[in-house]
Copies of this chain bind each other. A is one copy, B any other.
Amino acid sequence: MIDLPAPKPDVLARRAEILAGLQALLPGDGVITEPARVKPYETDGLSAYRQPPLAVVLPRTTEEVAAILRFCHRNGVRVIPRGAGTSLSGGALPLADAVVLGMMRLNRILEVDYANRLAVVEAGVTNLGITNHIAGDGFFYAPDPSSQLACMIGGNVGMNSGGAHCLKYGVTANNLLGLKAVTIEGEIFEVGGRHLDAAGYDWLGLLTGSEGQLAVVTEVTVRILHAPEGQRAMLAAFKGTEIAGAAVDAIIASGIIPVALEFMDKPCIHACEAFAHAGYPLDAEAMLIIEVEGSQQEQDMLLGKLKEICSRFDPISLKVAQTPEESLAIWKGRKGAFGAVGRISPDYLCMDGTIPTGELPHVLRRIGEMSTEYGLQVANVFHAGDGNLHPLIMFDANDAASFRKAEAFGADILKLCVEVGGCLTGEHGVGVEKRDLMPVQFTPFELDQMRALKAAFDPDWLLNPAKVFPIEGNPALRPAA
């Protein structure tokens, strides 16, 4: 379980006055206080934690966001920015004395500029909403988190979200051109723009992935890409996870960059097959889904090379999709993986860490050993090409000891990631979930220096304050008694 900072007594005491002030700034239905309507905002995708906020505000414009932040700053009120609330690390978890700043009403697509291959959208536009808007003209927005139907581009920026296709196209940071954002003092500013390079410091990069702690993003200029002529997937099944890991290495070392390179281990294959009947090889210890794109000719050439590479690793089976339908069939099980694991074990923790790809075989072996030690099942499904692991640790939520064991197992996996030269996070961010593990990755000086960057934007630690850094030792945050 996690500690939250002690609520500020003066803010709780002035609740009525603060709500009246907010209502004056957002006339109509922009301030939500009734418990039943506040309820959906009490938690996010990391549903293990839940906390009602002081209130929820739903502005419609950058100027309204600025007015709210200026008011909260003047009144010492903490603010939790929130998109669709799909964060898997508790990035949008409220605090009892905080205002949740819901961004979903800033949902306009402001401009699409095909000549410069960019779109300007408000923070509350959904990830898939961008692609849907431009797909008819042959364009798409590349990062594709699993939650793309719901998650909002502002949240994607805050968490630097990834997805299955990030191996080729990079994460959110690689697909952004500019931001409009508002500081806690209500200053509206712009970073980046319609060009690739930046003068001065790279604060576009700094803001991306800063988990709503530095400023509130209200508009995003994204790079859009010309959609490829088509894509096709292949499935390669192997006799061991380490062999499959070696095949991943060989593919990457060949210089081919597939659009996606997904890894599933035996427990995950079985769960997905039982759920989706995708025709997955049940005798395999591990399988890869590899997708390429381009013209028919390019697809043939790349799939031919990939088939040749995979055959060096004594595969159980190799299946190259000949049609888009066969591709969809290959993907069908993978896309439903989390749901499939949910059928075996209603409760699981989805971890998210990154390792140097060369460490895949070693790390998979260690995770297997830990699974035995903890007596908890684990299914591995992940973006292998960029070393982004997503072990799913199954536990029983009705058994508190089982949950604690799962948390400890998860922490051990993340520590292992750091130990082999990797990183605590992949694409889900730190949030509250991994906050207390940050000292595993960083020295006290490094954490202090990051806190100094936070303070350069928000000296009073009002913006999403209980996330990213351990509360303990932070003079701006007192742990709750």
Q: Is the CB of B450 within 8 A of A194?
A: no
Q: Is the CB of A209 within 8 A of B198?
A: yes
Residue interface bits A98-120, CB-to-B below 8 A is 1, else 0: 00000000000000011111100
The docked-state distance in angstroms from the alpha carbon of A117 to that of B357 is 9
For residue A343, CB closer than 8 A to chain B, the reply is no
A interface, by DSSP: helix, strand, loop or mixed?
A: loop
Considering the complex, which residues of chain A in the window 417-456 have a beta carbon less than 8 Å from any beta carbon of chain B? 421-427, 430, 434, 438, 441-443, 445-447, 449-450, 452-456
**Inside 8 A of A71's CB, which chain B residues have their CB?**
none
Q: Which candidate, A249-257, A268-276, A333-341, is the interface stretch facing chain B?
A: A249-257
The docked-state distance in angstroms from the alpha carbon of A452 to that of B214 is 13
5 A-B contact pairs sorted by A residue (CB < 8 Å): A116-B357, A160-B202, A197-B427, A198-B209, A200-B469
For residue A195, CB closer than 8 A to chain B, the reply is yes
**Inside 8 A of A226's CB, which chain B residues have their CB?**
253-255
Greatest chain B CB density within 10 A among A115, A118, A443 is at: A115
**Inside 8 A of A200's CB, which chain B residues have their CB?**
430, 438, 441-442, 447, 450, 468-469
Q: Is the CB of A114 within 8 A of B253?
A: yes
Known contacts A199-B434, A201-B454, A203-B453; 4 further A-B pairs (Cβ under 8 A): A118-B356, A173-B202, A206-B453, A449-B456
| With contact pairs A226-B255, A253-B226 given, residues A423 and B206 touching in the complex (Cβ less than 8 Å) | no
Q: Is the CB of B199 within 8 A of A423?
A: yes
For residue A283, CB closer than 8 A to chain B, the reply is no
Q: Is the CB of B255 within 8 A of A423?
A: no
Considering the complex, which residues of chain A in the window 68-118 have a beta carbon less than 8 Å from any beta carbon of chain B? 113-118
Residue interface bits A467-481, CB-to-B below 8 A is 1, else 0: 011000000000000
| With contact pairs A297-B301, A358-B116, A455-B456 given, residues A425 and B249 touching in the complex (Cβ less than 8 Å) | no
Q: Which candidate, A5-13, A148-156, A185-193, is the interface stretch facing chain B?
A: A185-193
**Inside 8 A of A447's CB, which chain B residues have their CB?**
200
For residue A457, CB closer than 8 A to chain B, the reply is yes
The interface size bin for chain A is 35 or more
Q: Is the CB of A421 within 8 A of B193?
A: yes
**Inside 8 A of A279's CB, which chain B residues have their CB?**
none
Q: Is the CB of A189 within 8 A of B445?
A: yes
For residue A225, CB closer than 8 A to chain B, the reply is yes
For residue A196, CB closer than 8 A to chain B, the reply is yes
The docked-state distance in angstroms from the alpha carbon of A206 to that of B206 is 6
**Inside 8 A of A427's CB, which chain B residues have their CB?**
197
Q: How many copies make up the complex?
A: 2
**Inside 8 A of A249's CB, which chain B residues have their CB?**
115
Q: Is the CB of A199 within 8 A of B424?
A: yes
For residue A228, CB closer than 8 A to chain B, the reply is yes
Which residue from B190, B196, B198, B358 sits with its C-beta under 8 Å from A115? B358
The docked-state distance in angstroms from the alpha carbon of A442 to that of B443 is 34
**Inside 8 A of A434's CB, which chain B residues have their CB?**
199
Q: Is the CB of A194 within 8 A of B254?
A: no
Which residue from B117, B195, B210, B443 sits with its C-beta under 8 Å from A189? B443
**Inside 8 A of A145's CB, which chain B residues have their CB?**
none
Q: Is the CB of B423 within 8 A of A195?
A: yes
By beta carbon, the residue of chain B nearest A298 is B301
Q: Is the CB of B203 within 8 A of A422?
A: no
Q: Is the CB of B199 within 8 A of A441?
A: yes
Q: Is the CB of A358 within 8 A of B113?
A: yes
Q: Give, as a whole number of angstroms, the nearest-CB distance from A91 to chain B.
A: 13
Q: Is the CB of B426 within 8 A of A197?
A: yes
Which residue from B187, B199, B228, B388 sits with its C-beta under 8 Å from A430? B199
Q: Is the CB of B206 within 8 A of A201?
A: yes
Q: Give, as a whole number of angstroms, the nearest-CB distance from A298 to chain B.
A: 7
**Inside 8 A of A115's CB, which chain B residues have their CB?**
249, 253, 356-358
Greatest chain B CB density within 10 A among A196, A208, A421, A424 is at: A196
By beta carbon, the residue of chain B nearest A177 is B356
Which residue from B193, B356, B423, B426 sits with its C-beta under 8 Å from A422? B193
**Inside 8 A of A442's CB, which chain B residues have their CB?**
199-200
By beta carbon, the residue of chain B nearest A205 is B205
Q: Is the CB of A452 within 8 A of B456?
A: yes
Greatest chain B CB density within 10 A among A202, A210, A214, A469 is at: A202
Residue interface bits A232-270, CB-to-B below 8 A is 1, else 0: 000000000000000001001111000000000000000
Residue interface bits A274-318, CB-to-B below 8 A is 1, else 0: 000000000000000000000101100100000000000000000
